[in-house]
Structure 1
Amino acid sequence: MTENDHAIALSARNLYKVFGRRPQDAVERLRAGVPRHELDGGTTAAVIDASFDVRRGEIFVVMGLSGSGKSTLIRMLNGLHDATAGTITVNGEPLTGVSDGRLRELRRDRISMVFQHFALLPHRTVAANVAYPLELRGVAKSERLARAEEILALVGLGGWGDKLPGQLSGGMKQRVGIARALAADTDILLMDEAFSALDPLIRREMQEQLLDLQARFQKTIIFITHDLNEAMFLGDRIAVMRDGRVVQIGTPEDILTDPANDYVAQFVQDVDRARVLTAGNVMERPRPVIVESAGPRTALRTMRDAYSSASYVVGRDRRLIGIVTDRDALRLLRRGGSALSEIVRPAPHVVGSDEVLMNLFVPAIESQLPLAVTDDAGRLVGVIPRVTLLAALGPGPNATEELQLPLPPVPTQVIDELLAEGDARSDGLETTGGKETV
């Protein structure tokens, strides 16, 4: 087994699921190129030749409309549906073609599931529901209930352990379902339309909590949904299904910006791009950029060549230090100064490369320069001009609007005259009544 194999939590190869008469014959016809709708009456191909790998610790979303085969697929992944053809392995061990006893062991130890309609035991307390997987493993009652209370606190239900499911709201019931799956402590967590029965506000809250829990526990999650925005928000990668087939697998950005076919393009055309695309997806090469050790003459030449009235300043290690303006550089040069550190101002707005675009509108409006984008080490990796931000969200009436400083840039000829004179005391700025004018 290679190092890459160790990074794969679940692998599916050439999966088929056919319901009805003579399923094996239907598989052979599908392999020969017969369309799904031409199969014999009473025969339905729910999943057709599906192959994919799920990486350890990722949220892998399977997305599709009703009838696309996604719910059948997830039931195959924990053995609730036998595969008509193809194989599934979990951590390198086969899940397809094993005995019933082995399948029960895999469900108990390797794969747990959160259902759309909660599937709680109505006559057991919340704590007893959460502790149920541990009861199946023979864990002592006191130990499993203590563990249940710990996990309930993590999902925001501390103190609710002695309640019955009927006393809870829908969102609270789904938290219990997630807590039960976490208590099972399996390698893989399957979630079948887990949030679709919830009100929109509760649904968003649950999505955010799932990401918080994932950051803490680093489970491998396979999440089924028909909601594109939910898929884009949650998924590290997304598999798009249509008519039983997986038609594209990629990151949310891949799916949104490079759809594999017209079906995927139509599917994603109404997605809220501002919640999906990040600064790193749309940033441009930063220019102009000046190294802090450069003098005012270099700064002025750099800004002049870039037709800019200000520039970002970085250290030798590319860490962002701040900004300088052409006016400040001119004043520094007139008084004979040489250290840019005297005139560097704090960068007005700095964003991380993983910040979603919806959080960038106000900073873009307020910023004197295109937004600076930095990595985790504080290095300047790109910039986002306002026009780029607008273009990333689609054309509009302001798509060609330019970002300007509050003051217009110093005319190029003024800078040229000053630089050409080669004298730090050059009278490159005229004065009237003691005030600088350009």
Structure 2
Amino acid sequence: MPAKGTVSVSRVPAPGFRIELPSGLSLGGAPVLGPCAVEVPAGRCTALLGPSGSGKSTLVRLAAGLLAPPSAAAVTTTDGAPLKGRIAWMAQQDLLVPWRDALGNVTLGARLRGRRADADRARALLAEVGLTPADGAKRPAQLSGGMRQRVALARTLMEDRPVVLMDEPFSAVDAPTRHRLQELAARLLAGRTVLLVTHDPLEALRLADRILVLSGTPASPSEVAVPHGTPPRPARDGELLAAQGALLERLAEAA
């Protein structure tokens, strides 16, 4: 079994993509997003922030193909190929199946596709996110909320896809675990195209190469400058902490 810290990752070229909403988007008759275009650069992490209900999760679901786009809207890629089949998805909820243990949940994707799962890689990923072999043998009901979220992260990494969509992926874990999982995700997702929804300004500033804030009614995106340095940026960095305060004030105004 690979040792902790040596999980292999593929280097499949990651496409950038663009979500175009020339007429905006309404849900249930209520306008959510105004006319806009959201660029997600290839091989970089883009973070989406904004008040609840501003359309962050809606944009991610559009990219994932989980929401039918309105008329004239489109999701296009820099290489011209569809995103379908190239996406790994991590939702706010862990979405673990209760009848399989943690290891079985990490390997679920391969089994659903009728392929042989790489159990050694799955065990190594569970170790990377701080879970023991004994934890891997437990079912979700036997795990804490934070442990289940770590299993969900391992399952997302197990998919090894060039595009990763993450909707509040670390919201259920305590602050120290969240910090460590940010480090892990930044390392294992380096070079992939990541769209990250978060309510945490510090998380966005640590992990993102590009930050977009949704504000207004209906909402539209605007870009925020990120601190210097390569993600994951140190949480104690002075420039990052100053940027965190400014971004928090901006989000408060948007709300």
The TM-score with structure 2 as length reference comes to: 0.76
Q: State the percentage of identical aligned residues.
A: 36
Give secondary structure in 2 for the equivalent of 1:53.
strand
- 1:145 and 2:115 correspond: no
1:250-399 matches, within 5 Å, as 250-253=224-227, 278=228, 358-359=236-237
Give secondary structure in 1 for the equivalent of 2:120.
helix
CA 1:219–1:171 in structure 2 vs 1: closer, same or farther (change >3 Å)? farther
Checking the alignment, whether the CA contact within 8 Å between 1:111 and 1:189 is kept in structure 2 is yes
Q: 2:25 aligns to what?
A: 17
Q: 1:123 aligns to what?
A: 99
Checking the alignment, whether the CA contact within 8 Å between 2:15 and 2:163 is kept in structure 1 is no
Give secondary structure in 1 for the equivalent of 2:53.
coil
Residue 133 of structure 1: CA displacement?
A: 0.9
Q: 2:249 aligns to what?
A: none
1:203-282 matches, within 5 Å, as 203-215=178-190, 218-242=191-215, 243-253=217-227, 278=228
Residue 11 of structure 1: CA displacement?
A: 1.7
- 1:188 and 2:163 correspond: yes
Matching residue's letter, 2:27: F
Give CA deviations for 1:113-135 in whole Å, capped at 9, x if unaligned: 11112111111111111111111
CA 1:355–1:48 in structure 2 vs 1: closer, same or farther (change >3 Å)? closer
Checking the alignment, whether the CA contact within 8 Å between 2:153 and 2:169 is kept in structure 1 is no
CA 1:393–1:251 in structure 2 vs 1: closer, same or farther (change >3 Å)? closer
Give secondary structure in 1 for the equivalent of 2:99.
coil
The TM-score with structure 1 as length reference comes to: 0.46
Residue 207 of structure 1: CA displacement?
A: 2.1
Checking the alignment, whether the CA contact within 8 Å between 1:126 and 1:163 is kept in structure 2 is yes
1:20-59 matches, within 5 Å, as 20=28, 43-59=29-45
Checking the alignment, whether the CA contact within 8 Å between 2:90 and 2:166 is kept in structure 1 is yes
Q: CA RMSD in A?
A: 3.0
Checking the alignment, whether the CA contact within 8 Å between 1:112 and 1:189 is kept in structure 2 is yes
Checking the alignment, whether the CA contact within 8 Å between 1:236 and 1:251 is kept in structure 2 is no
- Partners of 1:393 and 1:110 lie apart in 2 by 32
Aligned residues: 225
Q: 1:297 aligns to what?
A: none
Checking the alignment, whether the CA contact within 8 Å between 1:47 and 1:73 is kept in structure 2 is no
Residue 75 of structure 1: CA displacement?
A: 1.1
Q: 1:334 aligns to what?
A: none
Of 64, 74, 79, which residue of structure 2 is paired with 1:78? 64
Residue 94 of structure 1: CA displacement?
A: 4.2
**Which has more radius of gyration?**
1
Give secondary structure in 2 for the equivalent of 1:181.
helix
Of 128, 152, 168, which residue of structure 2 is paired with 1:154? 128
- Partners of 1:229 and 1:358 lie apart in 2 by 10
Give CA deviations for 1:127-157 in whole Å, capped at 9, x if unaligned: 11111111122212xx433332232233232
- Partners of 1:393 and 1:236 lie apart in 2 by 15
Q: 1:87 aligns to what?
A: 74
Residue 393 of structure 1: CA displacement?
A: 10
Give secondary structure in 1 for the equivalent of 2:136.
coil
Give CA deviations for 1:400-437 in whole Å, capped at 9, x if unaligned: xxxxxxxxxxxxxxxxxxxxxxxxxxxxxxxxxxxxxx
CA 1:241–1:131 in structure 2 vs 1: closer, same or farther (change >3 Å)? same
- Partners of 2:160 and 2:235 lie apart in 1 by 35
Q: 2:145 aligns to what?
A: 170
- Partners of 1:174 and 1:393 lie apart in 2 by 25
Checking the alignment, whether the CA contact within 8 Å between 1:46 and 1:244 is kept in structure 2 is yes
Residue 44 of structure 1: CA displacement?
A: 0.8
